[in-house]
Amino acid sequence: MQLQGKTIVVTGVSSGIGAEVVRIARFAGARVIGVDRNDPSLTLDGFVKADLSSVAAIDAAVAQLPERFDALCNIAGVPGTAPVKLVADINYLGLRHLTEQALPRIPRGGSIVNVASILGAEWPQRLAPHKALAAAQSFEAGAHWLRDHPVPQESCYQYFKEALIVWSATQSQQWFLDRGVRMNCVAPGPVFTPILGDFVSMLGQERVQADAHRMLRPGFADEIAPVIAWLCSDEARWISGANIPVDGGLASTYI
């Protein structure tokens, strides 16, 4: 994997998968600019402190990014134990707004990578509402649509990961055709990160116990990060609109 000479913007750099993407990308020769609401604990080539839950905060963060960069990795997110509005604002509406604002700075041949989840695999069951939400063409329009179509707390994380996969797929080809910028998703299974406990609480012990036999163990952040970094490289130049599971085979056990 060659990232020499590339500049990559990574959100959620202060822990977990985001921090591992930083390490791998810099080792492969990239210049990495981090974005996070918490201060980083590793070496970066630049850092923007931002809470990615509002249009104003996102616009202010984008204004501090380089005028040109080669890839954007959207890794920042909150678990489903957070309030529904916050999950929507950060995991979907804010991510989408950040990506749209950053797009003009990404040159032809560039890449966008969104971190989804194995929990988004049931998107076909709700394709119509996810496409309707994707058609809401601004943060505020999306928020208005969600006020009219409320999402339950117990399924909000899954819902917005599904919505992210659908938006990424439906938007990606137009950007690839018009701008030559690829957009893909990576869908991890359970991962040993600081918020793993929140996911256990969110799913409940019954669901966790039922799924335990399906996998060898939860993944490690450094098993997810290389796939994200690779999607930023020229070796992945013909991959766009994909949702790649990185879950130790967990998704395959549902077939």
Strands of the 182-188 sheet, one edge to the other: 46-49, 31-36, 7-11, 71-74, 111-115, 182-188, 243-246
**92, 157, 159, 254: the active-site residue:** 157
Structure tokens given for 39: 């201060």
User: CA 53 → CA 61, 159, 198, 222, distances in Å?
Assistant: 11, 17, 19, 26
Helix (H) or strand (E) run with residue 71 in it? strand 71-74
Structure tokens given for 245: 């599971």
Considering only the C-alpha atoms of the chain, give the largest distance between any 2 of them, rounded to a whole number of Å.
48
Calpha distance 62→54 (Å, rounded): 12
**Is 159 an annotated catalytic residue?**
no
Catalytic residues: 157
